[in-house]
Structure 1
Amino acid sequence: MKQIIIATKNKGKAIEFKQFFSDYGIEAMSLLDMQGDIPDVEETGTTFEENAALKAEQMASLFDKPVLADDSGLMIDALDGRPGIYSARYAGEPKSDQANMNKVLEELTAFTALEERTARFVCVLAIAVPGEKTIFRKGYCEGTIAFSEAGENGFGYDPVFIPKGYQETMAQLSAGVKNSISHRKNAILHLDEWIQDIL
Structure 2
Amino acid sequence: MPTLIVATGNPGKLAEMQTYLEPLGCQLTLKPTEIEVEETGSTFYENACLKASQVAKAVNQWAIADDSGLAVDALDGAPGLYSARYGNTDRERIAKLLQALEGVSQRQAQFICVVSIAAPDGSIQLSTKGICSGEITHSPRGDQGFGYDPIFWLPEHKKTFAEMTKVEKQKVSHRGKAFNKLIHQWPGLKFDSF
Same fold (TM over 0.5): yes
- How does 1:60-71 map onto structure 2 within 5 Å? 60-71=56-67
1:89 lines up with 2:80 in the alignment: no
What is the rounded CA distance, in whole Å, between the counterparts of 2:169 and 2:21 in structure 1? 20
Q: How many residues align?
A: 189
- How does 1:94-133 map onto structure 2 within 5 Å? 95-112=88-105, 116-131=106-121, 133=123
TM-aligned CA distance change 1:178 to 1:196, over 3 Å: same
Q: Secondary structure at the match of 1:137?
A: strand
Q: Deviations over 1:150-195 (max 9, x none)?
A: 1111111011100241222111111221122111110001112321
Which of 133, 139, 144 pairs up with 2:130?
Answer: 139
Match of 1:193 in 2: 184
- Unmatched 5+ stretches in structure 2: none
Q: CA deviation at 1:22?
A: 4.4
What is the RMSD of the two structures over their aligned residues, measured on CA atoms? Answer: 1.8
What is the rounded CA distance, in whole Å, between the counterparts of 1:19 and 1:175 in structure 2? 11
Match of 2:69 in 1: 73
Q: Secondary structure at the match of 2:135?
A: strand
What is the rounded CA distance, in whole Å, between the counterparts of 1:164 and 1:125 in structure 2? 26
What is the rounded CA distance, in whole Å, between the counterparts of 1:102 and 1:20 in structure 2? 30
Percent identity between the two aligned chains: 40
Asked whether the equivalents of residues 143 and 162 of structure 2 are also in contact (C-alpha less than 8 Å), the reply is yes
Q: Which amino acid aligns with 1:122?
A: I
Match of 2:156 in 1: 165
What is the rounded CA distance, in whole Å, between the counterparts of 1:25 and 1:122 in structure 2? 25
TM-score by length of 1: 0.86
Match of 1:53 in 2: 49
What is the rounded CA distance, in whole Å, between the counterparts of 1:20 and 1:97 in structure 2? 23
- Unmatched 5+ stretches in structure 1: none
TM-aligned CA distance change 1:65 to 1:172, over 3 Å: same
Q: Secondary structure at the match of 1:65?
A: coil
Relative contact order, higher structure (CA 8 A, sep 6+): 2
TM-aligned CA distance change 1:55 to 1:102, over 3 Å: same
